[in-house]
A and B are shown apart, each in its own frame.
Chain A
Amino acid sequence: MLELRDITRAYELGGERAGVFGVSLDVPAGCLAVLAGPSGSGKTTLLQLAGLLDRADAGTITLDGQEVSSLHERDRCDLRLRRLGFVFQAFNLVPVLSALENVMLPLQLQGLPETQARQRAEAALDRVGLADRRHHRPGQLSGGQQQRVAIARALAPDPLLVLADEPTASLDHAHGGPLMDLMADLARERGTAFLVASHDPAVIARAHRVFRLVDGRLAGAP
């Protein structure tokens, strides 16, 4: 599914060289993989490279057999829209849209007719247990509920890979664990690959694979 080979992305941070260096890893379909490591170890940088949000200085990224690291920006956008999903630490829902409209957004951007997008979004919200909250705006939802909406938004377009950056960091323990259980279930049910950056033990405990990063280098193997 996702293959990273010798990925390097270096930048200056506080006068020191930071980033990721020569990282290679595989995330197969249906796998919940976790990038673990302390703050500043390069988890988010690697996640952004895998999510085609940034370009690596060196190395290749292959998604479902297609080499994607050298694609033109327009094609990278299209790939993100159709094949990738994102879940962020701060939920990052569009505040002016309801839960349902947030989930419909990537589908409508794909050009799906409104009724079809609505059906798929309602199914996704139903799957994350928020069918009764679909008309609520993000400000009217709890942190856990917002993150579930974000997962529904990421999954609604039926992506190959979902990238989640510290998805439980803004949630308390009572909400973080069930959220990760949900991700693990979805990975198993749908065959979607998840790559999660986190240093939360509750997340790492539910991972099918754990990649440990130390100072931008991979310290462990799956």
Chain B
Amino acid sequence: MILARLALRNLLRQRRRTALTLMVVVAGFLALSLAGGFMAQTFQGLSDAAIRGGLGHLQVLPAGNLDGDEAQSLEHALPDGEALAAKLRQDPAVAEVLPRIQFMGLLSSGPRSVAFLGTAVDPVREPRFMACLDALKDGAKAPGGAGSRWLSADPAAREAILGTGLARSLGASVGSSLTLMSTTRDGALNAVDVEVVGLQDLGLKELNDRVLTVSLATASQLLDAGPARSRLSIVLRHPGDTARELARLQGRLPDTSVKPWFELASFYRQVKLLYVAIFGFMGLVLFLVVLLATANTLLMSVMERIREFGVLRAMGLQPGQLLSLLQWEGAFLGLLGSALGLAATLLLRAGLNALHLQMPAPPGTSHGYELDIHFVPLVYVAVAAGLQVTLQISALFPGLKAARLRIVEALRHV
């Protein structure tokens, strides 16, 4: 304890230098924890977008991994998807099951035809859990989108909601009549006339240029789908249980493939990987800055106290205890720096969030978002731990230098 007290007094002795070192630690903490909060916002936004964009928490797919065109064909679909959905809705962990048909074909406005990627959904259940109405709201702001509404619950209604880019390429707007053309399960060509009831903006230009949404009834007629469904999106009552429910439901449905949303959301995974790499690099640079700054401070402190260390050694202090003394100084700098850094982070976070700053649209997306730096205790703990380790490492070299001093030379030091 005496060494800890001595270390604290030594830091207080050089207040200005200690304050400068603390500022470096605080700046490091602030930068990393704010970046961590921003990343958390981004990840949360992306995961919400992926889950509410149609993936749900879990997806039930036909057995075997199907990619590309095969995934858009009912040939490999869940043969009695509707019955399976009804069965899963009885599961207490499941909040809702949303059957979907993925299909593709040509959309024709008469003189012009454009290839599309279609999704057929339940017009009643879908808006309760998915963000389709948000996309519709955004789409209503696009040219030709005025008066956009969601699909009718009437099974006889033949309606479609187009991506804004798809509508633009066909010169279509709300109220336009178009023809959907595709192949049935048996391979026969089929067509259905639909009315455009809305435009949707999904945030990604590539999607807006290709996608359209229709009701399951419309798609069933076009594809002669019967009860077959491409996949089922499962919304769980407790999203935190995704991993556990994945294993359980896969056990219940051995003839299917149950996948979690994050395995299917490739954009989410790519962005997360990129951010983690950027954050890691930034963290490395900041830790190096903190390491060098604090090592320099502690080394200067050792050089100024060589005679004092000589006296302590003469009095019987072991070399290892001198090393401990410097470790205590590093520990106090780290603890105090992290505490001040946390306070500064919380203040700055509150200030920045209160400004309601609008961030520019991320690459590949069509609209910006409001900055909301998240409160992430785990990030604060990790940053504090990382800084603490850095401080202890930075105290190691000065400590070793002090411990290796020859007493008689240290006592002669002026």
Chain A residues within 8 Å of B, Cβ to Cβ: 48, 51, 53-54, 73-74, 77-82, 84, 86, 88, 90, 92, 94-97, 105-106, 108-109, 114, 153
Which residues of chain A are within 8 angstroms of B315 by Cβ–Cβ distance? 80-81, 86, 105-106, 109, 153
Q: Measured between C-beta atoms, what is the minimum distance from A47 to chain B in Å?
A: 10
Given A73-B319, A97-B6, A108-B1, 9 further pairs, Cβ under 8 A: A48-B408, A77-B317, A79-B316, A80-B316, A81-B315, A94-B308, A95-B308, A96-B13, A105-B315
Main secondary structure on chain B at its contact with chain A? helix
Known: A77-B316, A105-B315, A109-B317. A54 touches B2 (CB 8 A): no
Of B6, B312, B407, the contact of A53 (CB 8 Å cutoff):
B407
Give the distance in Å from the alpha carbon of A86 to the alpha carbon of B313 in the complex.
Answer: 11
- Cβ–Cβ contact A105 & B314, under 8 A: no
Which single residue of chain A is at the shortest CB-CB distance from B8?
Answer: A96
- How far is A114 from B6 in the complex, measured between Cα atoms in Å? 14
Binding site for A on B (CB under 8 A): 1-2, 6, 9-10, 12-13, 307-308, 311-319, 321, 407-408, 411
List the A side residues contacting B321 at CB < 8 Å: 109
| Neighbour of A96 across the interface among B9, B313, B411, CB < 8 A | B9
- Which residue on B lies nearest to A114, using beta carbons? B1
Task: Look across to chain B and name the residue whose beta carbon is closest to the beta carbon of A74.
Answer: B318
Instruction: Kindly state the separation between the CA atoms of A54 and B410 in the bound complex, as whole angstroms.
Output: 12
Contacts of B316 in A (CB 8 A): 77-82, 84, 106, 109
- Chain B residues positioned under 8 Å from A74 (CB to CB): 318
Which residues of B have CB within 8 Å of A95?
13, 308
Q: A77-B317, A96-B10 are in contact. Are A53 and B408 (CB under 8 A)?
A: yes
User: A97 contacts B9, CB within 8 Å?
Assistant: yes
A105-B411 contact in complex given A77-B317, A92-B308, A95-B13, C-beta closer than 8 Å? no
- A106 CA / B317 CA spacing, docked (Å): 9
Instruction: For A101, give the chain B residue with the smallest CB separation.
Output: B5
Task: Determine if A53 and B411 form an interchain contact, defined as CB atoms under 8 angstroms apart.
Answer: yes
What is the distance, in angstroms, from B8's C-beta to the closest C-beta of chain A?
9
Known: A48-B408, A109-B317. A92 touches B12 (CB 8 A): no
Give bound CA distance, A132 to B311, whole Å: 25
Residues of chain A lying within 8 A (CB to CB) of residue B6: 94, 96-97
User: Given A81-B316, A109-B317: A92 and B2 within 8 A (CB)?
Assistant: no
Residues of A within 8 A of B307 (CB): 90, 92
Known interface pairs A74-B318, A77-B317, A80-B315. Does A96 touch B408 (Cβ–Cβ under 8 Å)? no
From the candidates B13, B319, B408, name the one contacting A54 in the complex (CB within 8 A).
B408
Q: What residues on B are CB-neighbors of A109 within 8 Å?
A: 2, 315-317, 321
CA distance A17 to B274 in the complex (A): 67
Partner of A105, one of B1, B2, B319, B407: B2
Please name 27 pairs of A and B residues whose Cβ atoms are closer than 8 Å in the assembled complex, sorted by A.
A48-B408, A48-B411, A51-B314, A53-B314, A53-B408, A53-B411, A77-B313, A78-B316, A81-B315, A82-B316, A86-B311, A86-B315, A88-B311, A90-B307, A92-B311, A95-B13, A96-B6, A96-B9, A96-B13, A97-B6, A97-B9, A105-B2, A105-B315, A108-B1, A109-B316, A109-B317, A114-B1
